[in-house]
Amino acid sequence: MIYLDNAATTALSESARNAMEPYFSTHYGNPSSIYRFGQEARKAVEESRQSIAALLRVSPREIYFTGGGTESDNWAISSVALESALKKEKSAHLITSAIEHPAVLRTCAFFESLGVKVSRIPVDQKGFLDLEALERALQEESSLREREERSFPSKSGEEVKKGASHCLVSVMAANNEIGTIENLKEIGRLAKEYGAIFHTDAVQAFGQIPLDIEEMRIDLLSASSHKIHGPKGVGLLYIRKGLKLPSFLHGGAQERGLRAGTENVPGIVGFAAAAKEAFSSMEERGRKKASLRNLFFKRLMEEIPGAKISGVNPAEAEGIGERPESPFLSSLHHRLPGNVHICLPGVEGESVLLLLDQKGICASSGSACASGSLEPSHVLLAIGKSHEEAYFGLRLSLEETLTEEELEYTVEAIREAVEKLRG
């Protein structure tokens, strides 16, 4: 099999597996217990927290373990909306992009159904957030906040100050379908300029590209273990020190009382081991994957008439945006190194997947979390594709271990599938 699906390229790494094994069989105590058996597990959890915090250059007390990226996104958004509801003098405002993961979009839609204001900022044809539209939304929010904060004379003649609105900007670090890397530094600057909380869904970016939490002014960051060859079912939420959020899960005192429930000790330990390995090899892996990605695009464009690259075309990306970035990020041309997404006019992506599966190739047509949906890709619609074109997408996720022989085999298999379906 050739694994080119985002959900299939994330097999557990050997380092994560070895780190986890003792916590299934030997050190399986409850980390909340006070006896030594449980404290061995507690020590493993806290050492894992310290390890991941060091990679992100933050305090261990700012790292909270969760059940995965979806939970982390829900926690970040729900906390701001619920904090607003608890302090009844405040009105929440959620600002997000049109191409977010369903974990963000559907959470925002849920709170919108309860009366919370939600603004969805458009993106351009490459998937970059419209920064002018973001600033307009923030300016509108700021003006509203100023009006609410004005003092009004009460009946007794005393001054009464209205409460400010509670605003969250939630924009993903890199898109899970078309791979576009957003300008988090500028988004963070705008959020801070207008007093908003800044959350980023970094599930696709964590361990793949550099993330500078201070430079990007990130207040909340979601990440997931399985995207970096760690175990499934564990993730984290970074919460900047000083940001007061209500408890997300109620019960015990785990995660400093904000996220109750017995910790997944093997998962957390495996997550830390996978993160350490991913960060240490980030640039080397990224450059290899970007090279494979560029070759893949070149060969697909040569072999398949009418094929169109979705998002940023690395061959045409020179000079896109004047962003002070690391040399490594600049070399990726604003696109995740292992992301390939093409549209095949006249051919439904799902049909191509079935033919590729017969050739031993695992690929996808969009987000694994939207698998089985009959709706077209909301990401492709947001970047300007027609309703019909949005069914034509094919996404490939590359690992640095992919050989050029496997790449050529895949290109040929896609060409044959397209010819068969078009013919």
Mean pLDDT calculated for residue range 203-232: 97
The domain spanning residue 361 has which CATH number?
Answer: 3.90.1150.10
Residue 231 and residue 322 in one domain: no
The CA distance from 141 to 143, in Å, is 5
CATH number of the domain within which 197 lies:
3.40.640.10
From 249, 279, 309, give the residue that closes a domain: 279
Q: Rounded to an integer, what distance in angstroms lies between the CA atom of residue 126 and that of residue 179? A: 10
Same domain, 116 and 187: yes
- Is the domain of 264 the same as that of 304? no
**What amino acid positions are annotated as catalytic residues?**
369
pLDDT confidence of residue 151: 45
Which H or E element spans position 140? helix 131-149
pLDDT tens per residue across span 177-210:
999 999 999 999 999 999 999 999 999 999 999 9
Same domain assignment for residues 292 and 151: no
Do 287 and 263 fall within a single domain? no
Q: What is the pLDDT of residues 324-353, one digit of tens each?
A: 567 888 888 899 999 999 999 999 999 999
Q: What's the structural domain count of the chain?
A: 2
Cα 96 to its chain centre, rounded Å, is 13
pTM (two decimals): 0.92
Beta-ladder partners of 269: none
**Domain membership of residue 330 as a residue range:** 2-10+282-422
List, for residues 51-94, the tens digit of each pLDDT value.
999 999 999 999 999 999 999 999 999 998 887 766 665 688 99
291 and 234 inside one domain = no
pLDDT of residue 416: 97
Question: 295 and 216, same structural domain?
Answer: no
Same domain, 192 and 218: yes
| Cβ neighbours for 267, distance < 8 A, ≥ 6 positions apart | 20, 225, 230, 231, 233, 234
Q: Are 325 and 394 found together in one domain?
A: yes
- The domain boundary, picked from 254, 279, 304, lies at 279
Looking at 250, 279, 308, the residue that finishes a domain is 279
